[in-house]
Amino acid sequence: MVLIIIKPVLTIRRFFYNPAIPQEYRRNFIHLYIEIAWFGILSGSAINFLNIYAARLGASSFQIGLLGAMPAVVSLLLSIPAGNWLQKRPVGQSVFWTAVLSRLGYFLWIPLPWLFGNQGQIWALTVITLAMGIPMCGLSVGFNALFAASVPVEWRASVVGVRNVVQSLTYIIASLGTGYILYHLRFPVGYQVVFGIGFLSAALSTFHLFFVRPPKETVIAAFPDLKNYPSIEEKNRRHDWHAILRLDIWRTPYRKVLLVLLGFHLAQYLALPLFALYTVNELHLTDANIGIGTSLFYLTVLLGSTQLSRLEHKVGHHKLTGWGVVGMSIYPIAMALSHNAFHYYLLSIVGGFVWALVAGAYANYLLERIPEDDRPSHLAWYNIILNSAVLFGSLAGPFLAGFIGIGMALIAFGTLRLLAGIAILKWG
């Protein structure tokens, strides 16, 4: 067990102090690592247990699906405007302020048990997540562009791998700690404490985002001023909606990437709302069980992330993404066949390793298919297909499960993940 923890820590130390890192990027890398550490605590506490909290309040499958769908509704409406808005502004400042505004919402989760009954809390959470989705849209589009501009191509796999390791470590600690808190504090006080920890972590994560700054020459390359593109500017002045919406992107090879990732995210989010309901209502797991399971999941994410750079250099971002998505089909199918906490723990171990491959590879796979001089608009279209999948999947998954049962739905959605992985390998 000691070796399992020591190896990732040594990996982190090697990249923190690697003399090969260019001096102009070293500061960015360190802040990106610390930022994701705090985000890991946020994810392992407040975000991870939000659906569980809603399920324990008595939320229906539709309400849990709606909770996940609200930010997607906003992103679908605002992704293109957000991309155009980011194109005209310093991306570092834009990412910071959208993070501040979106993450203030975590604070509003804390007093809900004092203000509303069970159903009132569920709908209040839905409204708050909808409001958080407005600035989060700019954050989602902007962060990918900021990362691309702040991390040179040859270092991206390494930086993503270390970020995944750091996030996994803090996620494990947060999940175990959250399970302990919820076991020892009465409901809903324990959840209020967990939401408070989440808000503090979100604030510290945002603080470190402020210090991630692309070098000037990268800013020029990644975020060109619109005056350098008079043809598009002229079209915009003539209200050419094709130019404003950047429909020309769909006439490039990038459309294949968008379509296969749409299939992947749709298969991913059809199943996602069902996991909390299945663990609470079918497996009857406690919060402590769920905390241990998610900790095991991210322990194997951590271990898988230490091998990410080597695997990406060996097989490439594209193939690693495709085979990772194929492997993701195991999780929903195996969960439908689970009967107790031990099965859940075993499934978490396998699922975590597979997710390490996908989470580490698919962002780099996406970025390598995007022209360096037009990132925000391409990422805005990716954000649209992502949130289309979140919206449809979050609502359709629970709806279909109501007709065929949660178990059969999980098996069907797992099969869709398998087909999505094959599509990425064949056409992506």
CATH number assigned to the domain comprising residue 347: 1.20.1250.20
For residue 245, the model assigns a pLDDT of 62
> Residue 3 contacts by C-beta under 8 Å, 6 or more apart in sequence?
none
- pLDDT of 19 reads 56
- Identify whether 417 is part of a domain: yes
Evaluate whether 64 touches 54 at the Cβ level (below 8 Å): yes
For residue 339, is it within any domain? yes
**CA–CA dist 47, 38 (Å, integer):** 13
What distance in Å separates the CA atoms of residue 169 and residue 179, rounded to the nearest whole number? 16
Packing angle between helix 23-42 and helix 2-16, nearest 10 degrees? 140
Enclosing H/E stretch for 190? helix 189-209
Q: How far from chain centre, in Å, is Cα 279?
A: 21
What count of other Cβ atoms lies within 10 Å of the Cβ of residue 154?
8
**Residues sharing a CB contact under 8 Å with residue 40, sequence separation 6 or more, in sequence order:** 166, 167, 168, 169, 170, 171, 174
Q: What pLDDT was estimated at residue 236?
A: 42
Residue 234 lies in a domain: no
Whether 401 is in a domain gets the answer yes
- How crowded is the C-beta side of 49, counted as CA atoms within 13 Å? 39
Question: According to the model, what pLDDT value does residue 207 have?
Answer: 93
Backbone phi, psi, residue 252, to 5°: -110, 165
On whether residue 72 sits in a domain, the answer given is yes
pLDDT score, position 199:
96
Q: Residue 5 domain-assigned? A: no
Per-10-residue mean pLDDT of the chain, 428 residues long, equals 48 54 74 92 90 88 82 74 68 82 93 93 92 83 80 77 82 87 90 95 92 64 40 42 63 85 92 87 86 86 77 83 92 90 91 86 82 73 83 87 90 94 89
- Output the CA–CA distances (angstroms, integers) from residue 251 to 83, 247, 378, 426, in the order listed: 19, 8, 12, 20
Residue 9 lies in a domain: no
Is there a domain that residue 213 lies in? Answer: yes
Determine the structural domain holding residue 339 and report its residue range: 19-222+250-427
Q: How many domains does the chain have?
A: 1
* 3-state class (DSSP) for residue 337: coil
Distance in angstroms (rounded) separating the CA atoms of residues 245 and 239: 11
pLDDT score of 164: 76
The rounded distance, in Å, linking the Cα atoms of 348 and 323 is 18
Judge contact between 215 and 90, C-beta under 8 A: no
